[in-house]
Structure 1
Amino acid sequence: MTAQLPLPGAPLQHYVSSAPFDPLSIEAMTDAQAKVHLASQLRLMWWKFRRHRLALASGIFLLALYGMIIIAEFVAPYNLHTRNVDFIHAPPQRVRLFHDGKLIGPYVYGREMALDMDSLKRVYTDNKSDVQPLRFFCRGDDYRLWGQFATNVHLVCPAKGGQLFLLGTDRLGRDVLSRIIYGARISLTIGLIGITISFVLGIIIGGLAGYHGGWFDLLVQRVIEVLQSLPSLPLWMALAAIMPVTWSPIIIYFGITLILGMLDWTGLARAVRSKILALREEDYVLAAQLMGAKSGRIIGRHLVPGFMSHLIATATISIPGMILGETALSFLGLGLRPPITSWGILLTEARSVSVIAFYPWLLFPMIPVILVILAFNFLGDGLRDAADPYR
């Protein structure tokens, strides 16, 4: 006799008492087997994703970064435009715990500056008699949290009258670490907004092309082929250069985001089209058509949810491309412009070979770019593997 399989969410005891004994039936399963059998698709995906340690660590890292940008003013030691004119191009300071063999907690040494008359380079040396303990949850530069609440509380501050430049300073004496933290807000959100635009366009255009086919499908495919044949970076540069210099920084920000989203939808649209071509002949689609459902409802309620997990994995892999696009455009001077600060804007300080030779710490904004790109790629691999029903 065929085993009676339980419905999701139904009490297990009902099937244990009513179904006849069968080695393949639910009552013959162990607790672990029954747990897997009754688990939802989302829970199964989470179990598979959790086994991908690198993807899980990348997801936690990205969540921490996106949580940080919400309170960037609190996390940063200094304000975005705070200048320390006595410490221009100061190298990074080292955080220490022990002084003269005694544990005194995290601290830095004070700095003394001298001018090298041969190279006209500022030379900084540690004054080991000037111990400056770090302060936590302290009062420092004034700021407005979320533009609404005036406060001056920071996570970490230098000692009163001291300095704290963990990643050095730039040509105006501004703290590089603080500017990297502020720049993360722009560089990370431009990828999310851009992928939202790309996601909407890809699903709508690719869904209609795959469901209806015909001349619309042919037109969409030719447009996708033309856009994908164009070199990305020169096209981005040309479109970014069109924007007038009189536009405000916030309009330029949304303009760059719109450009990145409008050019990135082609790959997603092609993936959606191929999936819908494979699913539109299923019986449940025919049943929905016979019941009078319109094409928009069939695509949005019945077809797209069937492969939404794959779309999410594709989106996580596309976000790094948008972050790199913004960074490249800003680095070349064709993207975002000051006073908006992003990682690409910060890297413009290191466009000269002589600057890199004398002040290599100005390349530090490249490190979070690399880490975020790798984290998104690892996260996308983990989501793709977890969503694959054949693994």
Structure 2
Amino acid sequence: MAESLAPPPAGTALDEPPHPDAPETGDLAVASQWQLMWQAFSRHKVAKVCGVITLAIYLVALLAPFLAPYPGSFHDADYTYAPPQRLELFDEGSFRPHVDGLIMTQDPATLELEFERDPSTTIPVGLFVQGAEYKLLWLIPMDRHLIGPIDPEIGPVYLLGADASGRDLLSQIIHGTTVSMSLGLVGVFFSLILGVVIGGISGYVGGRLDSAIQRLMELIMSIPTIPLWMALFAAVPPSWGPLQRYFALTVVISLVGWVGMAREVRGKFFAVRGEEYVQAAVADGCSQQRVMFRHMLPSFTSHIIANLSLSIPAIILAETGLSFLGLGLQAPTVSWGVLLEQAQSVRAISTAPWILLPGIPVVVTVLAMNFLGDGIRDAADPYSN
């Protein structure tokens, strides 16, 4: 009996210290599903970094009028395809941020307009400068911008160059963040409603109704995505304004994007409809709607959130692709896809390669949100680790 109570020899597995990120056994036993999910997500370093990047991008979308040097409607036809101006921090040994002016010349052989630096003209650049009026968060009237020219009368400041209309590309990219990122959220919201309702009914009711819904989803999935979007968006009247086209594009993308969400929800409903708590709710006289959305749906909410986080970049890419082809949003609406539409001309790219810069935030956003979605998806099932 004494030998059975003797401590284990040194060097065994019981002497190994626990992993620093591992939760306490007592805490793990009483932790909720969301606590387990957060503990699993906190160990995913790449997902945490991408989460910070995603939050920063949405912060830019919210504060776009303040962060952008110019409003979205600003343009100067005298600076068409003006090159990026280098920001100089010092002038004659003193700290004085500025950019050099630009002189437009014409090549006598090709008659092509070119821009050259004009060191004799300096345009001071400052922080929190006074500029065009706007409403911060659509509520607070302001006229201060994070960065911009101190004296706009001297000349414009194009830190990332100008486009075909003489618009500041940096300001356009920042303003386009608001439209592209918000369209992703609105599109996911519509896809969520359609996917949860249709997928829930299919998975809970089953039978012939489930078969009919599955055939419909298979039909939608068998049609190439871009031609289907083109056919649906072709029905939008050309006389509609920017706001109407925005919501029309959101609905068109959602009519295709709900299928993946519906199949995910249907599978989860099939998996849990035989559980004891579901059968108890049915025996207690709960209606089908209450059983579906009050008892069954909350059990896999984390999986739906993971699916949504992976759907947002797909919608952003869809808007970018349609707008690039001229079938989505159109000027004067500013989005990343509308800005990239100018890159269809090889001649424009060869003379002004900076018009491809709106593609960088698209790549960064899609990569960040995909990695974030992968982390959320892995954390949604913490018992698998």
Settle same-fold status: TM greater than 0.5: yes
**Residue of structure 2 in register with 1:157 after alignment:** 148
Summarize the Cα distance change of 1:139–1:289 in structure 2 as closer, same or farther, 3 Å threshold. Answer: same
Determine helix, strand or coil for the equivalent of 1:86.
helix
Aligned to 2:113: 122
Aligned counterparts of 2:136 and 2:113: Cα–Cα separation in 1: 35
**How far apart are the structure 1 equivalents of 2:106 and 2:138?**
40
Q: Please, which of 277, 287, 291 is the counterpart of residue 294 of structure 1?
A: 287
Give me the whole-angstrom Cα distance separating, in 2, the residues matched to 1:119 and 1:374: 42
* Equivalent in 264, 267, 283 of residue 274 of structure 1: 267
1:242 is paired with a residue of what secondary structure? coil
Query: How many residues are paired up?
Result: 362
Q: Would you identify which runs of 4 or more consecutive aligned residues in structure 1 move more than 6 Å?
A: none
1:73 aligned residue: 65
Alignment-derived partner of residue 218 in structure 1: 211
Instruction: Give the Cα separation in 2 of the matches to 1:103 and 1:310.
Output: 57
* 1:173 lines up with 2:166 in the alignment: yes
Q: CA deviation at 1:146?
A: 5.0
TM-superposed CA distance for 1:148, in Å, is: 5.2
Q: Does the 8 Å CA contact 2:176/2:335 hold for their aligned counterparts? A: yes
Q: Is the 8 A contact 2:130 2:150 kept in 1?
A: no
Output one character per residue of 1:296-354: Cα deviation in whole Å (capped at 9) or x when no partner: 11111221111111111111111111111111111111111222111111111121111
Q: How far 1:382 moved relative to its partner?
A: 0.5
Q: Alpha carbon RMSD of aligned pairs, Å?
A: 2.0
**Aligned mate of 1:205, from 198, 213, 216:** 198
The one-letter amino acid of 2:358's match is: P
- Who is 2:132 aligned against? 141
| Secondary structure at 1:134 match in 2 | strand
- How does the TM-score come out when normalised to structure 2? 0.89
> CA separation in 1, counterparts of 2:285 and 2:371?
43
Query: Does 2:181 match 1:188?
Result: yes
Per the TM alignment, residue 79 of structure 1 is displaced from its structure 2 partner at its CA by: 1.2
User: If the length of structure 1 is used for normalisation, what is the TM-score?
Assistant: 0.87
Q: State the alpha-carbon separation in 1 of the partners of residues 140 and 102 from structure 2.
A: 34
Distance in 2 between the 1:372 and 1:333 partners? 22
2:361 maps to: 368
1:254 corresponds in structure 2 to 247
Instruction: Give the drift of 1:77.
Output: 0.1
Out of 299, 311, 332, which is 1:306 matched to? 299
- CA separation of 1:128/1:39 partners in 2, compared to 1, >3 Å: closer, same or farther? farther
5+ unaligned residues in a row in structure 2: which ranges? 1-13, 15-21
* Contact 1:347-1:365 at 8 Å conserved across structures: yes
Cα separation, 2, equivalents of 1:151 and 1:230: 48
Residue from 311, 316, 339 that aligns with 2:332: 339
Which residue of the partner structure matches residue 241 of structure 1? 234
Q: Does 1:110 align with 2:139?
A: no
Distance 1:48 1:103, change over 3 A: farther
Q: What 5-or-longer segments of structure 1 have no aligned partner?
A: 1-22, 24-29
Residues 357, 50 of structure 1: alpha-carbon distance in 2 compared, 3 angstrom cutoff: same
Q: Is the 8 A contact 1:89 1:122 kept in 2?
A: no
Contact 1:49–1:386 under 8 Å retained in 2: yes
Aligned to 1:9: none
* One-letter identity of the residue aligned with 2:321: A
